[in-house]
Amino acid sequence: MPHARRPAPLHEHGDFSDRRDLDVTAPPTLVPAQAQSSVMAHPDRSLWCLSTPATCMILGADEAGALTQRYWGPALPATDMAQFGDVDRLRWTSTFQSPGEIEEQLPFDGGHRWGVPSLQVVFDGGVRALELAFAGADTVEYEDGHGLLVRLVDEGFGFGAALHYRVRHGTDVIERWVELRNGHSKDVRVLRADSGSWLMPDQDEYRISSVHGHWSGETQLERRTLPTGEYTLTSRHGTTGQQSNPWVMVDDGTATEEFGTVRTVALAWSGSWRLTAQRRPDGAASVTAGFGHDGLEWSLHPGDALTTPSSLGLHSEGGFGAASRSWHDYVRRHVLTHPQEDRPVLFNSWEATEFDISLEGQIALARKAADLGVELFVVDDGWFGSRTHDAAGLGDWFPNPDRFPEGLHPLVDTVRTLGMGFGIWVEPEMVNPDSDLYRANPDWVLHWPGRRRDELRNQLVLNFGRTDVRQWALRSLDDLAGAYSLDFLKWDMNRPFTQAGWPDRADNHDMVWIEHTRGVYSVMDELRRRHPGLRIEACSSGGGRVDLAIMSRTDQVWTSDNTDSLDRQTIQHGYSQLYPAVTMGAWVTEEVNALTGRRVPLDYRFHVAMAGALGIGGDLDLWSADELDRSREHIARYKAIRSTVQHGDLYRLGQAPGRDYSALEYVADRQVVLLSYDPHRSLSRAPRRLRLRGLDPAARYRDTETGTEYSGAVLMGRGLLFNEHQTLRGWNNTRFSAADYASSLLVLERLAG
């Protein structure tokens, strides 16, 4: 079991001897005084206020020893804090319904509680009746903010729960996690250990927003009325998963992109997880989230501690758009390790070659990519071991001796001579049974004694909870990064857990669901420490590992294996609800998409991919001279706008992306970027205008292509004609779309003065 620690959960480090006592926090951020956060305790020590620049949360301990949420909303004067000392419940109650439990910060399974628990344990003798009570609180100072530590104790069994809160400067996001400690003389079984519950204050209606999906159809945004009862999102895959993502937004059913109160709860965890929203028939709703899923249990031996990942909450008054911009800002300020870097334009070899890799072929592709203006060349699957197909070689991380008899040096040298960085694809968590690694270490994989080992994609999952597996993985990747001075690592994970046993931990098998993920984190963290110039992209059969925790140790994620531009618009729309463009890998591939067979013009493909970290993934040998020339122009234009796209404020305009006309507006410093899309031609719609957002109404802006000047007031009030240069004019000057897949890039420069 892990030892006690005081973590900074988004940067959860560990070495390779199972120590868990490192506290690594993000560097301090310089922000204006009004953007400072604070934690204040009321003189009677029963109320605490967590203040962010625009919001606050008030917590209180009641006479029964429960810690409850009294307020979460817009900032209040400090003098108003005392008004929340008394609990004022208007909801009805009965012997079958306890109105107070939904307000608790850590509702547990015990006493007169019948709602969704955040914590369930079983003591010696099968006792399930937990009796936690308030035992004190202290304020905590962090380098980049302030915190609160609240202690709850079950005196009868010596079991404790420490509730941690942190507010960082310059953000309205509140971060929470829980540390459990077994002070009993016998083992305690933990059935559920969430990172805390968030009360959604009473309102007339509750609407919940989330994303669902599947392979090549990730992050499909869905908004629906939250039903009375319990609504659970989860992943049982061992990764974040493609079926859902660990966050929800809750509003009263009237919020829009620009207006309305929206509250978000997100979980920073890359393994299996569970998030449950409950709406009670007597009013109020809450959201609890944590690692693990139903059916698991973890044993805490005497003296052991278990720390949960971070759960994060955000209150926003500016609709879904403002909520997204706040999350994007939080990720850039407090999650990403290199937030200010512009992500390079990359080329990835997979769709061009698949497993048919050769030194000569890769060099030829590198020359063409460099000629287009590509800055990073990435060799995908097939460069290592006996990996000429997908049934062999995973785990043998050395260059294929037939394809690269001198190693990768001739290719790396050529790529660097061409002025590009060099990267490779790896899948460290997987192994093919047909590999030297598996033949030497068959017990390294997840398995149960006496049970079969089911293969998926001809591979098994290595147990990164094991010290020897982590040491091997670090050594292999460290050798590669050092030998070739790697600039980039595409870290893939292509199958879920099966037969998830850990024979060496027979008394605590299910810890593998936690320790595998922590092991992946520790290898990534140590690898980056040893190679500070290395950048990592997280991938899991596309967007199967996308969350705030993996983003704290990588630089971008592969959003989806589906590169069809129309499908990508809906995928990227759902992704953008929480995660910023700087983290979103997006490629331009073939005119006829390999997965969908849909034919999309080159301009449209580029304009969709320009909304994130641009990459090229097609077979350049098949592209015409005109396509290559046009691609060169697009890449040059992207480089001129990418800082704004990747680091600016995003405004989503128009209708449903990929289905109707839409646009993405990015605003940063003195540049405004507008990417507009109209996938389907129609004569039934009147001319449309796009009213821009986030501009200074008193400033003037110049179209960098035509030289036309506008005031910010006109651009936001009257707007611009949608895709004007892509329309035709007929009889009586009627405007209509020229063709399907009309798109455009407009750049405005804010004039001085």
Which tokens belong to 231?
């609504």
Is the model's pLDDT at 203 over the cut of 70? Answer: yes
pLDDT at 93: 65
Percent of the chain surpassing pLDDT 90: 85
Is the model's pLDDT at 605 over the cut of 70? Answer: yes
Q: Which residue has the tokens 């507009």?
A: 676
Give burial (CB, 10 Å; 0-12/13-18/19+) of 44.
exposed
For 393-458, where are the alpha helices, taking DSSP H only?
409-417, 436-440
Alpha carbon dihedral 590, 596, 601, 607, in 10-degree steps, equals -90
Q: What is the mean pLDDT of residues 604-620?
A: 97
pLDDT at 1: 33
Element (H, E) at 613: strand 613-616
Distant-in-sequence, close-in-space partners of 752: CB < 8 Å, separation ≥ 6: none
- For residues 409 and 685, which has the higher predicted lDDT (pLDDT)? 409
pLDDT at 739: 78
Q: Per this entry, what is the length of the chain?
A: 753
pLDDT at 92: 60
pLDDT at 76: 95
Each residue's pLDDT tens digit, 9-36: 344 333 323 322 323 233 333 344 457 8
Is the model's pLDDT at 478 over the cut of 50? Answer: yes
Q: What is the mean pLDDT of residues 704-725?
A: 91
What is the C-alpha separation between 51 and 150, in angstroms, rounded? 16
The DSSP secondary structure of 316-383, one letter per residue, reads ESBHHHHHHHHHHHHIIIII-SSTTSPPPPEEE-HHHHTT---HHHHHHHHHHHHHHT--EEEE-SSS
Confidence band for 735, pLDDT divided at 50, 70 and 90: low
Is the model's pLDDT at 459 over the cut of 50? Answer: yes
The DSSP secondary structure of 664-716, one letter per residue, reads EEEEETTEEEEEEEE-S--SSS---EE---S--TTSEEEETTT--EEEHHHHH
Q: In angstroms, what CA-CA distances link 103 with 197, 199, 315?
A: 8, 6, 17
Each residue's pLDDT tens digit, 50-77: 999 999 999 999 888 899 999 999 999 9
* Residue 429, amino acid: E
What is the C-alpha separation between 79 and 157, in angstroms, rounded? 40
* Active centre residues (catalytic): 492, 561
The secondary structure of residue 161, as a DSSP letter, is E
- For the entire predicted model, the pTM comes to 0.94
Is the model's pLDDT at 195 over the cut of 60? Answer: yes
pLDDT at 31: 40
- For residues 537 and 18, which has the higher predicted lDDT (pLDDT)? 537
Evaluate the CA torsion angle 540, 543, 549, 551 in order and state its sign.
positive
Distant-in-sequence, close-in-space partners of 633: CB < 8 Å, separation ≥ 6: none
Nearest CA to 588 among 566, 612, 615, 567?
615
pLDDT at 13: 31
- Domains within the chain, CATH numbers bracketed: 9-105+117-335 (2.70.98.60), 346-643 (3.20.20.70), 662-750 (2.60.40.1180)
177: left (phi over 0), alpha (psi -120 to 50) or beta: beta
Least confident segment among 41-45, 64-68, 201-205, 438-442: 41-45
Q: What is the mean pLDDT of residues 409-419?
A: 98
Nearest CA to 585 among 329, 334, 331, 343?
343
pLDDT at 91: 63
Each residue's pLDDT tens digit, 288-323: 999 999 999 999 999 999 999 999 999 999 999 999
Is the model's pLDDT at 373 over the cut of 90? Answer: yes
pLDDT at 497: 98
Q: What is the mean pLDDT of residues 482-507?
A: 96
Is the model's pLDDT at 7 over the cut of 60? Answer: no
**Per-position b or e across 594-626, b if 16+ CB within 10 A of its CB:** eeeeeebbbbbbbbbbbbbbbbbbbbbeebeee
Task: Give the number of other CB atoms < 10 A from CB of residue 442.
Answer: 13
The secondary structure of residue 389, as a DSSP letter, is S
Each residue's pLDDT tens digit, 85-137: 876 666 666 666 666 788 999 999 998 888 899 999 999 999 999 999 999 99
Which tokens belong to 265?
């709860």
3-state percent helix, strand, coil for the chain, nearest multiple of 5: 25, 30, 45
